């Protein structure tokens, strides 16, 4: 279970995230919605330990990010909105690098690379340098890199941007598989239809503050998520 | 249309003068003008000055009636320099330009795109080919004399030369483009070619004096040989010397060659421009992958970063070659050095000075390898990766300085071994030389990382900025050189004042003191990296 308690992050004098608290349970797909600059990426970066924060506590199954960042990071995988990767590596070298870091055995990594590269139709390109990859191919490689070590929590920033329709569909299936196995997904998106169909729970953030969260039914009621979101955005 | 495209082309070529790549911001008008002036001054003072000296050394052959040979030599140098300077810009600017697709999709005639690209290549070739040729003309006019026609012929010849360079750049650029898409280990090949050129340059510089004397003494013999076996060279030299017919024939031949080249390129331009960025395809074979520890994986990542970039290898790893070359040279010249070792200059024991100077020289060469200095900045936009992974920051930083230590250690110790073998010091001094070398390899790696951490720049758009133009590299390089000079220079004071005061102690005392200092500094930097450095890296 991921617990974010009173997370606050300030850039100079601007509060990018202001006293944000969230809990993500095992088996949940949790959507994170907000306008550009609302604080979604800052929150996600803080949760996966890329960015320091001013105050608050983040923990996964009782492991504190602040007290034991290595043990915390072993449980998670992160995919940013624009995966700038190690361009000088080939696709397969990159996946092996990630597998080495997470201690994935030789047989397991071979099998997983075969499986996920096959799913995303990237097998033939794994020998190529990442610098020759398109945005979509980089996104797919980042996804395989995230799935290769079977993390218990996957954090994704706008994961569907740049993916073709088939890959988007496959990703949604893979997200459901993770949750069915007891894992959880926390991702940000601008595509409200995707969030509405895919997420068990959703949180809406505005100007760094969480303004609404809960199950999809609790948040949207009988309206569409888009109507709720636009109404909340219109409020001062 | 061509004017607009040419303006874009030249802005791209001279982007550095208009955009501050460190800050990714446009330069002010004043700053742009200053950069252009600095560039012009560098070209005139260094390149022009060098060729001016060569011209001065050779003008006697023009004085005795072999002006064509004098000019032919500089014309060949101009063509070489022009091709070297513009072949890579031809390759990237003509065949691999990133905006070929967008321009081809616009209502722009292909001929206009091609012309603007060729004019860009021509412009670069003109600058580079003029650098050796203009001083040659000036020196000859000053010391041998000139006529109005000779000045006109000189101006015409500069244009002729730039056209030759343009044709050859297009041909070689095409070859480079074709070969490049088929190569797998491009970075190593680029490094090998660059080193070969540098070696050739130094070889020519080193032997220029002997070559000039030989040429002046045997000018008749050489001129007959050129006329007999390389008649076009004679013709080109005669054209530069004001021969009307040679000038007309050369122009006719070069213009014809240019037309053929442009015709061939224009016919295949779309095909080349839209297919040239296809790289050699590496076929992926599923196989058992090697498993590494976390520290091993991070170290391999750093090694891969280093070996994948010719810029990184050439700018931060050339010291390896210097050390090996110095060691080999020392073995070759061992006889001369061992003779020196036994000498005394008054109270000074030459052997002791040689030992200290050799240590300082090794420090200088070790300092040339500053791999760890740009390594933090080189994480760039991919920094999220290592920060989101479950890896202790100490391991990430350790990999950065360990790579530098591993790359430096073997050539440095080999060099130290050769120093010991050649100067044959007593056992204690020899041991201290080896230990000092090893200690400095470690200190400099830690110091480079220290510089990299205090002067981080993650906002670069071209890797050459952190590798070559960053404050971290500047500090690492000059800091290391400063330490080397201090180690060499302080021995004079030590020997003059302190050694006598201490009762004539040997050089080993000084080396032991330097070793203690080096180890102390290394320990301090190590401690700083593991405490403050970790914090800095984690807050990036």
CA distance B325 to B515: 25
Residue of B nearest to A131 (CA): B279
Query: Would the ipTM clear 0.90, i.e. be above it?
Result: no
- Supply the pLDDT for residue B489: 85
From chain A, the residues in CB contact with B381 under 8 A are 82, 84
Of A135-139, B16-20, B465-469, B509-513, the poorest mean pLDDT is in B16-20
The SS3 call for residue A3 is strand
Q: Are A30 and A1 in contact (CB under 8 A)?
A: no
Average pLDDT, stretch B189-210?
76
Q: What percent of chain B has pLDDT over 90?
A: 28
- Beta strands A184-188 and A76-79: pairing type? unpaired
Q: Which residues of A110-120 are buried (b: 16+ CB within 10 A; e: fewer)?
A: bebbeebbebb
The reply to whether residue A70 touches residue B391, judged by beta carbons under 8 angstroms, is: yes
Least confident of B107-111, B122-126, B360-364: B107-111
Angstrom CA distances, B286 to A89, A109, B289, B311, B464, stand at 17, 11, 9, 32, 35
* Rounded average pLDDT over B437-462: 90
- Distance separating alpha carbons of residues B216 and B220, to the nearest angstrom: 9
Inform me whether the pLDDT recorded for B92 exceeds 70: no
Decide if B174 contacts B268 (C-beta within 8 A): no
Span of A13-17, A165-169, B5-9, B146-150 with lowest mean pLDDT: B5-9
Contacts of A114 (CB under 8 A, 6+ apart): A123, B286
Cα A153 from Cα A159, distance rounded (Å): 15
Test mutation, A101, A150, A151, chain B, max B CBs within 10 A: A101
Q: Pairing relation of β-strands B19-20 and A209-215?
A: unpaired
Shortest alpha-carbon distance between residue B343 and chain A (Å):
54
CA end-to-end distance (rounded Å), chain B: 46
pLDDT at B397: 95
* Cα–Cα nearest to B108, from B245, B240, B273: B273
Q: Which residues does chain A have with pLDDT short of 50?
A: none
Of B128, B151, B154, the closest CA to residue B71 belongs to B154
Rg (CA), chain A: 18
Computed over every residue of chain B, the mean pLDDT equals 83
Per-residue pLDDT, B262: 84
Place of tokens 């390089």: B477
Q: Is the pLDDT of residue B500 over 80?
A: no
Supply the DSSP symbol for B182: T
Are the Cβ atoms of A73 and B304 closer than 8 angstroms? no
CB contact under 8 A, B382 and A71: no
Specify the pLDDT at position A188. 92
Is the pTM higher than 0.95? The answer reads no
Alpha helices in B276-333 (DSSP H): 294-307, 310-316, 319-332
Segment B506-530, tens digit of pLDDT = 788 889 999 999 999 999 999 999 9
The SS3 assignment for B119 reads helix
- Over residues B154-198, the pLDDT tens digits come to 999 999 998 998 888 888 877 776 676 666 667 777 777 777 777
Q: What are phi and psi of B184, to 5 degrees?
A: -100, -45
pLDDT band at B13 (very low <50, low <70, confident <90, very high): low
> Is residue B278 left, alpha or beta, with left meaning phi > 0 and alpha meaning psi from -120 to 50?
beta
Pick among B185, B298, B388, B393 to test the A interface (most A CBs inside 10 A): B388
CA distances from B467 to A133, B306, B364, B443 (A): 24, 11, 19, 20
């Amino acid at each position: 279970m991921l617990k974010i308690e009173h997370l606050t992050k300030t850039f100079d004098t601007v509060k990018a995230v202001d006293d944000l608290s969230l809990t993500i349970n095992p088996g949940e797909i949790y959507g994170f919605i907000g306008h550009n600059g609302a604080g979604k990426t800052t929150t996600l970066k803080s949760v996966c330990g890329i960015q320091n924060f001013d105050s608050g506590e983040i923990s996964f199954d009782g492991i504190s990010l602040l007290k034991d960042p290595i043990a915390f990071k072993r449980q998670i995988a992160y995919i940013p909105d624009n995966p700038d990767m190690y361009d000088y590596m080939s696709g397969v070298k990159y996946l092996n690098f990630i597998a080495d870091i997470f201690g994935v055995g030789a047989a397991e990594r071979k099998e997983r690379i075969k499986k996920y590269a096959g799913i995303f139709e990237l097998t033939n390109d794994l020998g190529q340098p990442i610098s020759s990859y398109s945005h979509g191919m980089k996104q797919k490689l980042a996804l395989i890199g995230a799935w290769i070590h079977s993390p218990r929590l996957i954090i994704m920033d706008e994961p569907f941007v740049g993916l073709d329709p088939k890959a988007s569909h496959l990703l949604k299936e893979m997200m459901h598989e993770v949750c069915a196995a007891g894992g959880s997904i926390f991702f940000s998106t601008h595509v409200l239809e995707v969030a509405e169909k895919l997420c068990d729970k959703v949180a809406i953030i505005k100007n760094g503050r969480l303004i609404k969260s809960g199950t999809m039914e609790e948040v949207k009621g009988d309206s569409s998520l888009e109507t709720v979101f636009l109404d909340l955005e219109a409020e001062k | 249309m061509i004017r607009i495209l040419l303006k874009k082309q030249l802005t791209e070529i001279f982007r550095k003068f208009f955009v501050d790549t460190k800050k990714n911001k446009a330069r002010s008008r004043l700053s742009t003008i200053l950069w252009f002036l600095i560039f012009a001054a560098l070209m005139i003072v260094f390149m022009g000055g060098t060729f001016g000296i060569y011209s001065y050394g050779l003008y006697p052959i023009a004085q005795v009636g072999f002006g064509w040979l004098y000019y032919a030599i500089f014309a060949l140098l101009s063509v070489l320099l022009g091709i070297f300077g513009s072949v890579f810009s031809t390759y990237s600017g003509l065949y691999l330009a990133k905006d070929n697709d967008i321009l081809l999709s616009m209502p722009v005639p292909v001929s206009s795109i091609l012309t603007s690209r060729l004019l860009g290549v021509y412009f670069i070739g003109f600058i580079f080919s003029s650098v050796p040729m203009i001083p040659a003309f000036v020196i000859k006019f000053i010391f041998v004399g000139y006529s109005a026609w000779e000045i006109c012929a000189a101006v015409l010849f500069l244009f002729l030369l730039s056209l030759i360079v343009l044709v050859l750049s297009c041909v070689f650029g095409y070859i480079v483009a074709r070969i490049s898409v088929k190569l797998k280990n491009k970075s190593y090949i680029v490094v090998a070619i660059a080193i070969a050129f540098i070696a050739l340059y130094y070889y020519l510089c080193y032997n220029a004096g002997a070559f000039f004397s030989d040429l002046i003494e045997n000018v008749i013999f050489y001129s007959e040989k050129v006329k007999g076996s390389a008649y076009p060279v004679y013709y080109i030299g005669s054209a530069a010397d004001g021969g009307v017919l040679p000038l007309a024939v050369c122009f006719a031949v070069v213009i014809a060659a240019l037309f053929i080249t442009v015709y061939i390129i224009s016919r295949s331009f779309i095909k080349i421009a839209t297919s040239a960025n296809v790289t050699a395809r590496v076929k992926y074979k599923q196989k058992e992958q090697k498993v590494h520890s976390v520290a091993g994986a991070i170290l391999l990542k750093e090694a891969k970063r280093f070996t994948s970039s010719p810029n990184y290898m050439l700018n931060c790893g050339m010291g390896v070659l210097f050390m090996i070359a110095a060691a080999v040279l020392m073995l070759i010249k061992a006889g001369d050095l061992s003779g020196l070792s036994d000498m005394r200059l008054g109270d000074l024991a030459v052997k002791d000075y040689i030992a200290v100077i050799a240590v300082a020289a090794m420090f200088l060469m070790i300092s040339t390898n500053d791999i760890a200095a740009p390594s933090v900045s080189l994480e760039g936009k991919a920094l999220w990766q290592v920060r989101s992974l479950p890896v202790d920051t100490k391991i990430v930083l350790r990999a950065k300085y360990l790579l530098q230590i591993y790359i430096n250690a073997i050539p440095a110790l080999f060099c130290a071994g050769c120093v010991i073998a050649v100067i044959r010091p007593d056992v204690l001094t020899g041991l201290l030389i080896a230990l000092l070398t090893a200690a400095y390899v470690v200190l400099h790696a830690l110091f480079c990382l220290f510089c990299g951490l205090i002067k981080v720049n993650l906002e670069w758009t071209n890797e050459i900025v952190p590798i070559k133009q960053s404050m971290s590299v500047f500090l690492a390089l000059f800091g290391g050189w400063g330490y080397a000079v201090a180690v060499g220079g302080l021995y004079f004071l030590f020997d003059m004042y302190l050694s006598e005061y201490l009762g004539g102690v040997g050089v080993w005392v000084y080396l032991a003191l330097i070793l203690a200092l080096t180890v102390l500094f290394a320990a301090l930097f190590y401690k700083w990296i593991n405490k403050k450095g970790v914090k800095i890296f984690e807050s990036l």
